Structure 1
Amino acid sequence: MTELARLKFYATQPHPCSYLPEEQATTLFLDPSQPMDVKVYAELSDVGFRRSGDHLYRPHCQRCTACIPARIPADRFIPTRQQRRIIKRNEEIQVRAVRPSFNEEYYGLYARYIEQRHADGDMYPPSREQFTTFLVRDLPFSRFYEFREQGRLLAIAVTDVLPNGLSAVYTFYDPDEERRSLGRYAILWQVGETARLGLGAVYLGYWIRNCRKMNYKTQYRPIELFVNQRWVVLS
């Protein structure tokens, strides 16, 4: 195991929180001079770190502990009746793994998603530079999972394939296909893919109880939360 204590980390100055407007956030980053090693990444994911672009980070706020890392243990996941309906509704979708890249088809879907679903967020307005910096990174473990039906692109799940599981970096999808619940389906598919690959869990990022955009993650059971430096099953 990598000696994580030997790694260098840097904390940002406090800044407005993207999820809880009344809070000030501080973020802890792995030293950017450290190579993006998949084993280090996997070990850091097990203590709550995430990837954004070329950076591994974790919230490091002094007053607030609302951001709690969450993961779905793939071998123990049991879909609810509603989740089974979502899977059946999308059974004609074909999924293909490709290396991250920029093209106008991908960007067009991303731009429509941000404009219609996240116009109130800090990623609005979308831009080609933002898309590339955030998602199109030349990393050997990163994948774009294309979700298509009869050739039409419906969604892309940006996912990192790690030794301990799949890390769900970001998903964007056709905002006009609301009935399909594509965001939920992408998570369900990744749980199935994690099990198929014989890996441990899908790392979902942070669960925030009082943030509508982030509290949906407890709909997947069992769900494990990283609390007091250990993973515990949410009862």
Structure 2
Amino acid sequence: MRHTLPIAPQFYVTAPQACPYLEARAERKLFTALQGEGAGRLNDALSKQGFRRSQNVLYRPSCADCSACMSARIRVADFVPSRTQRRVLRRNEDLKREATSPWATEDQYTLFRRYLDSRHADGGMADMDIFEFAAMIEETPVKTRVIEYTTTPEPGSRKRPLTAVCLTDVLDDGLSMVYSFYEPARIEDSLGTYIILDHVELARQVSLPYVYLGYWVPGSRKMGYKANFSALEIYKGGAWQPIGDPCAHSAETHPLSVDPIAEQVARISLPDTKPVRG
């Protein structure tokens, strides 16, 4: 009888490149491929250890002398919106949520282009064409949904205009917001905040304990808004902990702040690689 041994994930490190969050810093990522029938279990396990998904890759910052980037998540049961966030919810009462399969559409791409051209014209995704956009949405080996938000139709029209979109992974313990974009003309409505608030409500409805927000970076204006959400936890020092006072966390570099790659990989907890039989 022939036996097939399970293959453990292999981890790699990217070459240093300019950090998108902090000036004059170099970014480096630890990553592994996400594929096969165990992809969902691997995504669940590594998301709990500070990893994020991008298409069929899971990655985590592993910079040479900087550990500022910390994965962040909201404890759904303990979350209480602030007065400002309650106003955001009221301002966006016209929006209707619909969860769909991960399939890219022309309406999504048109909104995506308006969003990039207005908010991130010089960012790393600025040149993304419709085929690359479709790959970002559709190339997922795990349970993923596209959460669309539409608004009230214009007079004489029956079609609800697409106003915001979030690519969301469904983990065994929460919703992971992979990427979101929205109508830049509605800047006063704080749509980015609204999408997070609605994901907290959606997670509550389906009894999932966390909403994963990506990385929070002290000292980064681009990522600072995440600290405005109550019941926020960060993954720091190999464990999840309440963020506490955001000012207590430092973005300073230190030559010994990051362990060697081999030690980082050795501490990663991997899921059972045995196939799940129905």
How far is 1:21 from its partner? Answer: 3.2
**Other-structure match for 1:63:** 65
**Other-structure match for 1:234:** 243
Amino acid at match of 1:104: E
User: Can you list the C-alpha shifts for 1:49-105, whole angstroms capped at 9, x where unaligned?
Assistant: 001111111111121111111000111101000101111111221100001112211
**Other-structure match for 1:203:** 212
**When the two structures are aligned, how many residues end up with a matched partner?**
230
Amino acid at match of 2:32: L
**Other-structure match for 2:262:** none
**Other-structure match for 1:153:** 162
User: Can you list the C-alpha shifts for 1:94-135, whole angstroms capped at 9, x where unaligned?
Assistant: 100001112211100000000100012111133213312323
Q: Tell me how far apart the structure 1 counterparts of residues 137 and 20 of structure 2 sit (CA, whole Å).
A: 19
Counterpart secondary structure, 2:184: coil
- Structure 2: segments with no counterpart, 5+ residues: 1-7, 153-159, 245-278
Is the CA contact 1:70–1:223 (under 8 Å) kept in the aligned structure 2? yes
How far is 1:23 from its partner? Answer: 1.2
Rg comparison, structure with higher value? 2
Q: Tell me how far apart the structure 2 counterparts of residues 197 and 31 of structure 1 sit (CA, whole Å).
A: 29
Q: Tell me how far apart the structure 1 counterparts of residues 15 and 97 of structure 2 sit (CA, whole Å).
A: 41
Is the CA contact 2:56–2:140 (under 8 Å) kept in the aligned structure 1? no
User: Can you list the C-alpha shifts for 1:27-50, whole angstroms capped at 9, x where unaligned?
Assistant: 111135565621211110010000
Q: What aligned pairs does 1:72-87 form with structure 2 within 5 A after superposition? A: 72-87=74-89
Q: What aligned pairs does 1:1-235 form with structure 2 within 5 A after superposition? A: 6-31=8-33, 37-150=39-152, 151-235=160-244
Go from structure 1 to structure 2 and tell me whether the alpha carbon gap of 1:16 and 1:196 turns closer, same or farther (over 3 Å shift). same
Q: Tell me how far apart the structure 2 counterparts of residues 78 and 164 of structure 1 sit (CA, whole Å).
A: 19
| Range with greater deviation from structure 2 (135-144 or 220-229) | 135-144
Is the CA contact 1:70–1:206 (under 8 Å) kept in the aligned structure 2? yes
- Structure 1: segments with no counterpart, 5+ residues: 1-5
Instruction: Give the 4+ runs in structure 1 shifted more than 4 A.
Output: 32-36
| Range with greater deviation from structure 2 (131-140 or 100-109) | 131-140
Go from structure 1 to structure 2 and tell me whether the alpha carbon gap of 1:112 and 1:36 turns closer, same or farther (over 3 Å shift). farther
Amino acid at match of 2:68: A
Is the CA contact 1:115–1:126 (under 8 Å) kept in the aligned structure 2? no
How far is 1:146 from its partner? Answer: 0.7
Identify the structure with the greater strand proportion.
Answer: 1
Amino acid at match of 2:44: A
Counterpart secondary structure, 2:86: helix
Q: Tell me how far apart the structure 2 counterparts of residues 128 and 10 of structure 1 sit (CA, whole Å).
A: 29
Q: Tell me how far apart the structure 1 counterparts of residues 24 and 131 of structure 2 sit (CA, whole Å).
A: 29
Q: TM-score, length-normalised on structure 1?
A: 0.93
How far is 1:215 from its partner? Answer: 1.4
Is the CA contact 1:114–1:126 (under 8 Å) kept in the aligned structure 2? no
Cα RMSD after superposing both structures:
1.5
Is the CA contact 1:10–1:31 (under 8 Å) kept in the aligned structure 2? no
| Range with greater deviation from structure 2 (55-64 or 138-147) | 138-147
Is the CA contact 2:109–2:130 (under 8 Å) kept in the aligned structure 1? yes
| Range with greater deviation from structure 2 (32-41 or 86-95) | 32-41
